Structure 1
Amino acid sequence: MKINKVINMKSKLTVLLVLMMSLVLFVSCKKKEVKAPAEKAVNIRVQAVEEKALRPFVETIGTLNPNEEVIVSAEVDGILRNVNVDNGTAVSKGMLLAVIDDTDYGLEVKRAEAALRQAQAIYENTKLEFGRKQSLYKEQLVTQQQFDDVSTRLSLAEADVERAKAALLLAKQKLIKTRIYSPLSGYIKEKKASAGDYVKNGTNMFVIIQNNPVKLNFTVTEKDVGKLKKGHDVIFKVDAFPGREFKGKVNIIYPSLEEKTRTLQVEALVPNPDNALKPGLFAHVILYTGSERNTILVPIISLLYEGEKVKVFVVEGDRAKERPVKTESKYGEMMEITEGIKEGEQVVVVGQQNLSEGVKVNVAR
């Protein structure tokens, strides 16, 4: 009996020991479970990838310039008697702008006319004499020398008439040039002389600009050069008319890039019938470079750059997935994507800098 009691006691002690060890292991495991940190989700915001039918374009800044700008100069010397225009005056082609005193030039014309009449009279007399001497020479009543003399004088008289005609023409041209006319329709940008001034041949008197059409000059970057063609549509706005849109067409694509900036100069012609557009205004330019096409768009803020590589993060379930993408044209705050994502996917627009492949995310609503 004592032996059985001892055995029972040992069995109970063994069971108790096993239970205690199990309890210790259970508590230990519980502690380990409590210490293991739960995976923390990164808070993000997303936006759906869009597909829209859009025309590709390039955005840039330009400057408006006159279609033509000419300097009108005096072509004769003299005192300005009249100036008929001022800064800002609208002028038409052929309009009288100013008059230089023509008194001396009028007298020069009269002297040239008198000289021509005299030369013509001498020529006519010499011509008659030549006719008489020619008849006498045929009858051998005058010598060869006498006939040669009158023949020479006739040639000289004829040359004098031509010189007198040229002098008269020059005098008349100078007289005409005392009246200064506009060579084109436009506006007086700058008046450089006033009535009473003494001007000389070559003195600048007026600067005239033609504003219809106007030129829109702008540059495009090296990567956009291949997209340009003469005749492409250009749309732009100016700060002076914030609610108005202006249109033109590419007229000139310059043949080479500027070495320092690696940009190409482009010129467009813009109709300006109401003269609203003024040379010197800055323009916010959109240059269309192709026809309308279906375009995948993402917000520019979603793009992450690593050197020349570009990527975005999209959400699949509760995980972030990294996607390398290829970009094309910019459309305001959106960027065209040609490869890497498709319409309807959720692209991360806030918090993407904190993501890596496969990270758990929490999408803010």
Structure 2
Amino acid sequence: MRLMKILGLVLLLAAGIGGWNWWTARPQKVEVVAPYNGRAAEVVYATAVVEPVRWAKVTSIIRERIISLCGCEGQEVAQGDQLAELDSGDARATLAELEARQVLAQSDRERAQQLLERRVVSQQLYDKAQSELVRVNAMIAAQKERLRDYRIVAPMDGMVLRQDGAVGEVAEPGEILFWIGQPSPLQLVAEVNEEDIPKVAEGQTALIKADAFPDRELTAKVSRITPKGDPVLKNYRVYLDLPEDTPLRIGMTAEINIVTAEKTDALLLPLAAFDGSKVQMIGEDNQVRLETLQTGIRGTRAVEVLGGLGTDARVVFPFDATLTEGDKVQPETGARP
């Protein structure tokens, strides 16, 4: 009886070992995809900001307190309309002092002229009085021109897109107080990496992804490329025209994909099936075979296959670095990505 129990345990252990060996030796399951025909597009990615085609920033060139603002944000203005006024009290006091000096200089010049005609003073004294009057007149003209800086005016016809600052605050030189421009047409201003800029050309279409309109298919056209790039940021500025009916608004940010190459009926494989230009093929014997393919357009999701692949091929998806050539696998057809 005891012998039978021992024999039973031995048989059970042998069965377990055999089952384990079979389990570990069985072919690995892998998902495979077949090449398919579809649209291949090569794109250049960039981030962009929506701006008017014609617009201007209005700043102060002096440091002074704001005493009035137009309160005209969202309204149309004409070139030369006053938008804001800065405190010019000290500047006007200086002008008044100069005008008083002008009266005195004018009087001195007239007196010197009368004395010169009577031969009482020399020509040199008259010239000195004349020179002082000219100098004061020049200072008055410069001060009057300086007073114009205390009036902030519209540099162009358009809409006040945004107004910053408040009465009582001090405007700093270069600080933007107003954005003025035409609300349409609009454009995208994108920054494209210098490695990608050779692929970009005028007339190309860009696909737009904007957080404000996640379900809308938005497009733009490349209109021009800045000739000089930024050597520090290593990018180039690209301008793209937006259609008149675009829902995008001034100041919005967007992600764009500029379509630089496109084919409507190309043989494709998912991008994740590639390691460089290599893929893992599954032969009729279900063994892995590494193949180097001739590829064309490389998009964000799929790669165009130009040669080295039949339409009935089975390709491991995604590329599995743990597999080696000659490994036996159990392929399972997955859904096309």
| Alignment TM-score, normalising by the size of structure 2 | 0.65
C-alpha change, 1:218 and 1:201, in structure 2 (3 Å) is closer
1:161–1:98 distance in 2 versus 1, CA, 3 Å: same
| Residues 271 and 317 of structure 1: CA distance in aligned 2, closer, same or farther (over 3 Å) | same
Instruction: Say whether 1:348 aligns with 2:323.
Output: no
Q: Per-residue displacement from partner, 1:28-71 (whole Å, max 9, x unpaired)?
A: xxxxxxxxxxx97967543234365x55322x241426577746
* Structure 1 runs not aligned, ≥5 long: 1-38, 134-145, 259-263
Deviation at 1:240, TM superposition (A): 0.9
Shift of 1:269: 1.9
1:266 match: 236
Q: Secondary structure at the match of 1:241?
A: coil
Q: Distance in 1 between matches of 2:32 and 2:169?
A: 76
Q: Distance in 2 between the 1:247 and 1:350 partners? A: 34
CA distance in 2, matches of 1:276, 1:364: 42
Matches within 5 A, 1:274-289: 276-279=248-251, 281=253, 283-289=254-260
1:251 paired with 2:225, answer yes
Cα pair distance change 1:110/1:50, threshold 3 Å: same
Q: How does 1:85-234 map to 2 (within 5 A)?
A: 85=71, 93-102=79-88, 105-106=91-92, 108-133=94-119, 149-183=121-155, 187=160, 189=162, 191-194=164-167, 197=168, 199=170, 202=173, 204=175, 206=177, 208=179, 213-220=186-193, 222=195, 224=196, 226-228=198-200, 233-234=205-206
Secondary structure in 2 aligned to 1:160? Answer: helix
Aligned residues of 1:312 and 1:323 also touching (Cα < 8 A): yes
Match of 2:49 in 1: 64
**Distance across 2 between alignment mates of 1:352 and 1:99:** 67
User: Deviation at 1:117?
Assistant: 4.3
Shift in CA distance, 328/62, structure 1 to aligned 2, threshold 3 Å: farther
Structure 2: distance between partners of 1:295 and 1:257 = 39
Note if contact 2:37-2:268 (Cα within 8 Å) is conserved in structure 1.
Answer: yes
Q: Which has the higher helix share?
A: 1
Tell me: CA distance 1:153–1:83, structure 2 relative to 1, closer, same or farther (3 Å). Answer: same
- Contact 1:214–1:277 (CA under 8 A) maintained in structure 2: no
Query: 1:232, 1:287 within 8 Å by CA — same for their partners in 2?
Result: yes
The CA RMSD measured in Å over matched residues stands at 4.5
In percent, how many aligned pairs have the same letter? 16
Matches of 2:65 and 2:31 in 1, distance apart?
A: 81
Q: CA deviation at 1:127?
A: 3.5
Distance in structure 2 (CA, Å) of the matches to 1:75 and 1:301: 58
Q: Do residues 310 (structure 1) and 283 (structure 2) align?
A: no
Task: State the distance in 2 between where 1:91 and 1:316 align.
Answer: 76
Task: Specify the SS of the correspondent of 1:289.
Answer: strand
The equivalent residue for 2:303 is 335
Letter in 2 for 1:286: N
Distance 1:123 1:320 in 2: 106
The alpha-carbon deviation at position 268 of structure 1 amounts to 2.0
| Cα distance in 2, alignment partners of residues 362 and 291 from structure 1 | 32
1:27 is matched with none
- C-alpha distance in 1 between matches for 2:261 and 2:319: 33
Code of the aligned partner of 1:46: V
Is the alpha carbon distance of 1:298 and 1:208 closer, same or farther for their aligned partners in structure 2, counting shifts above 3 Å? same
Change (3 A) 1:355 1:198: closer
Is residue 235–residue 248 contact of structure 1 (8 Å, CA) maintained in 2?
no
TM-score of the superposed pair, with normalisation by structure 1: 0.61
User: Aligned letter for 1:269?
Assistant: Y
Change in Cα spacing, 1:64 to 1:130, as seen in structure 2 (3 Å) is same
What CA distance in whole angstroms lies between the structure 1 residues aligned with 2:333 and 2:176? Answer: 70
The one-letter code sitting in structure 2 at the alignment partner of 1:254 is G
1:13 equivalent in structure 2 = none
Aligned-partner Cα distance in 2 for 1:296–1:168: 78
How many residues end up aligned between the 2 structures?
Answer: 297
**CA contact under 8 A between 2:288 and 2:324: conserved in structure 1?**
yes
Q: Which runs of 5+ in 2 are unaligned?
A: 1-25
In the TM superposition, what is the alpha-carbon distance from 1:84 to its structure 2 partner? 1.4
Q: CA deviation at 1:334?
A: 1.2
